Structure 1
Amino acid sequence: MSYTHTITVPLPYADAVERTREALAEQGFGILSEIDVHAAFEQKLGTEAAEALGDYVILGACNPGLASKALAAEPQLGALLPCNVVVRRGAESQTTIEAVDPQTLVELSEAPEVRDVADDADARLRAALEAIQSDAAPTT
């Protein structure tokens, strides 16, 4: 099973990060955490490791209404929140954006409320990715 939804866009890295934030906000997600993996690698492992990785950020996205429903149904799901969205770019000319597939939560829980939350979160994350891809498409 694939555990992410992935798109590749012809946007510069910084533009892709900004557009990802905007698209997530349009779907009701806020960013609770941000991990600059490139900077962490550079600090802990050195410049060579950071350069090998390329630009890489993990955005911890959370839709408070959905999180509230999920945690009410199954409090231990907090270990799987927030929904991580990765924006990364190596030496290639395009940027990759990956969002966790919320359906993985369904595989770990038997609560029907979790399925409803996962379905809603999945639709919202897919809509955000589709908006980014649509905005980034070259015009002719």
Structure 2
Amino acid sequence: MSYYFSTKVVGAFDDVIDRIREALKTQGFGIISEIDMQAALREKIGVDFRRYTILGACNPALAYEALQIEDKVGTMLPCNVVVQERGDGIEVAAIDPVASMQAIENHELNAKAAVVANKLKAAIETLRMAAEAVD
């Protein structure tokens, strides 16, 4: 089982970030954190790295439900979405919460993870479909 969903798109990096933000928003997610790994790695250890941004996506209603089921699930929140430069375009990848929740033996939580996974897949699919429409 893979631990993420992904697609590759053509476009400007910042535009792709805007597009995935909007796609996530339509699925009920907000971005509660953003990490520019290129800048962080340059600042902290002095290395050059490709453009790589981690967006911490949270669907508040589903996060609340998950926390009601399992109070330590917060160690696995928010759902991370990565936007990174690749040689053949921009890749957008999101964690598969079903895969990550396998570490917790709670069937009710696994069912909620599947709902979140479907919403993340739909957001990623929006970008893939838009990329195909351009081709």
Shorter-chain TM range is over 0.9
Identity of matched residues, %: 41
1:23-65: CA deviation from partner (whole Å, max 9, x where unpaired): 000100000100010010111122xx22xx2100000000011
Q: State the Cα distance separating 1:103 from its structure 2 match.
A: 0.6
- Distance in 1, matches of 2:100 and 2:8, equals 25
Q: State the Cα distance separating 1:130 from its structure 2 match.
A: 0.4
- Distance in 1, matches of 2:107 and 2:41, equals 40
The question of whether the paired residues in 2 share the 8 Å contact of 1:69 and 1:113 is answered with no
Unpaired runs of 5+ residues, structure 2, are none
TM-score (norm 2): 0.93
Unpaired runs of 5+ residues, structure 1, are none
Q: Name the amino acid aligned to 2:56.
A: G
Q: Name the amino acid aligned to 1:100.
A: I
Instruction: Supply the RMSD in Å over aligned alpha carbons.
Output: 1.3
Equivalent residue for 1:110, pick from 100, 105, 111:
105
Which residue in 1 is equivalent to 2:62?
A: 66
SS of 1:108's partner is coil
Q: Name the amino acid aligned to 2:131.
A: A
User: How many residues align structurally?
Assistant: 135
Q: Which consecutive aligned stretches of 4+ in structure 1 deviate over 4 angstroms post-superposition?
A: none
- Distance in 2, matches of 1:103 and 1:116, equals 8
